[in-house]
Structure 1
């Protein structure tokens, strides 16, 4: 007697076929609805106005002009942070680096996910062990500020030193020296007209080197100011 051939796969339940047909019909129905629908420009205008107000902007779109189908630029002067493309920021940093290079000041740019850092060697900005910039360095710092002010983005100015100890009445350690240098740059930025609400300063001392401290070249590289540009989210 021949054996009954074993089924390779179980047959799907009977209800699954009907369910699949129902889903197909519903999908077709919604596609037809979408194809016959029209966009309400009035409701679209109201939605855009609500979004702009939620982000702190001023709506300047006039309903009649939107309904007529014209493209009106949306200006949001109070919206924070103002959107700036990464490319524009990098171009501005390139200008600053070229200026510093002509003046014989070493600098570099380090890119991170949410920020870009402009690293500037301090040997030609500050006398050794001091937080007051050289008189000839002040116009350079002010020019850096003027270029960055065009971006109108939040900045953190960080001071760094090498591992050579310092112990003076004014600066008991490199912590105080690095913080004082960062604050000195910040004050010059405020004098330049940068919005104080978008500025902060930090002193990091010798504890975040970017080069070995066992050579003069490495120590010089670690003596730096970093201007951290916080990118808009």
Structure 2
């Protein structure tokens, strides 16, 4: 019978294999941390600049102090916009309505969830079938802009008409007329100093009436411009 060969060394315990794997992972982890600790100033600056611009900032002053952990002057003029309450917005719209009422211009305010609409009748703002305002109406539009500019909120200016068809050389339909009137008011707002990035215009023609078009009163109510104030979420 053959003699069993004696083992030269004992097999390692089972736990030692797991322990070795753990040490290897820890070593890899610390090597990774060390590699990340070597910062390229140029890449670091580019990353910081991208974050600042994403949050509304404009630039960062790049100095050696960035790595030393000291403060860096950063401008964030648009990062934290001043929040406006509904009460403040409604108060400003009430001022505009009172001003328009003094000149015999009908207006009303409608609330729709995340927006508030100021509806202004256009009979005393624009001549029939025209997109150029009456001369005496331009100061009123500019004053409306000055008051709304204090809110500093995004606006959409919508033009609306009644269902009486228009066919002229400039305006083949009411749709073009409503769009032209909305754009005219938008341009006056830009002249007044409203931020163009917060303005947009739309022409709706006769397709969104707020009153029946079968009476003169209803048609007059549908001839309007709506200034849609978009509320912050």
Q: Which of the pair has more CA radius of gyration?
A: 2
Instruction: Quote the offset at 1:76 in angstroms.
Output: 5.8
Matched residue count: 167
- Report matched runs for 1:127-166 at 5 Å: 127-166=127-166
Between the aligned partners of 1:204 and 1:230, the Cα distance in structure 2 is 18
- Report matched runs for 1:45-64 at 5 Å: 55-56=55-56
Aligned residue for 2:190?
Answer: 190
Aligned alpha-carbon RMSD (Å) = 2.0
Q: Indicate if the aligned counterparts of 1:92 and 1:148 stay in contact, CA closer than 8 A.
A: yes
Q: Indicate if the aligned counterparts of 1:81 and 1:153 stay in contact, CA closer than 8 A.
A: no
Aligned residue for 2:87?
Answer: 87
Between the aligned partners of 1:165 and 1:53, the Cα distance in structure 2 is 49
Deviation beyond 4 Å, 4+ runs, structure 1: 52-55
CA 1:136 to 1:208, structure 2 compared with 1: closer, same or farther past 3 Å? same
Between the aligned partners of 1:80 and 1:154, the Cα distance in structure 2 is 15
Aligned residue for 1:109?
Answer: 109
Which 5+ residue runs of structure 1 have no aligned equivalent? Answer: 1-51, 59-74
Q: Indicate if the aligned counterparts of 1:166 and 1:173 stay in contact, CA closer than 8 A.
A: yes
Between the aligned partners of 1:167 and 1:53, the Cα distance in structure 2 is 48
Q: TM-score under structure 1 normalisation?
A: 0.68
Aligned residue for 1:174?
Answer: 174
Q: Indicate if the aligned counterparts of 1:81 and 1:232 stay in contact, CA closer than 8 A.
A: no
Q: Secondary structure at the match of 1:202?
A: strand
Q: Deviation per CA, 1:92-146: give whole Å up to 9, x if none.
A: 0000001111110000000010100000000000000000000000000000000
